[in-house]
Amino acid sequence: MRINHPEILVLEDSAALSRKAAEILVRCITEVLGKRPHFSIALSGGSTPKTMFSLLVADDSFKNKIPWEKIHFFWGDERHVAPQDDQSNYRMANEIMLAKAYVRTENIHRMQTEKSDAGKVADDYEQELRKFFLLSAGQLPVFDFNLLGIGPDGHTASLFPGTKALHENRRLVVANWVEKFQTNRITMTAPVLSSADTIVFLVSGQGKAEILQQILEGNHQPDLLPAQLIRPTHGRLIWLVDQAAASRLKLSVQGKVQSSAFKG
**Which positions lie near ligand 6PG, rule CB under 6 A?**
44-48, 77, 89, 149-151, 155-158
- Minimal distance, residue 17 CB to ligand 6PG, in Å: 11
Task: Say how many C-beta atoms besides its own lie within 10 A of residue 189's C-beta.
Answer: 25
Which CB, 39 or 201, lies closer to ligand 6PG?
Answer: 201
Which CB, 28 or 178, lies closer to ligand 6PG?
Answer: 178
Which CB, 150 or 249, lies closer to ligand 6PG?
Answer: 150
Which CB, 68 or 201, lies closer to ligand 6PG?
Answer: 201
- Minimal distance, residue 214 CB to ligand 6PG, in Å: 16
Which CB, 89 or 228, lies closer to ligand 6PG?
Answer: 89
| Residue 58 to residue 116: CA distance in whole angstroms | 36
| Residue 256 to residue 4: CA distance in whole angstroms | 11
- Minimal distance, residue 157 CB to ligand 6PG, in Å: 5
- Minimal distance, residue 20 CB to ligand 6PG, in Å: 16
- Minimal distance, residue 152 CB to ligand 6PG, in Å: 8
Residue burial 196-224, b: 16+ Cβ < 10 Å; e: rest: bbbbbbbbbbeebbebbbbbbeeeeebee
* 141: DSSP letter: P
What 3 state SS string does 225-251 have? Answer: CHHHHCCCCCEEEEEEEECCCCCCCCC
N-terminal to C-terminal alpha carbon distance within the chain:
33
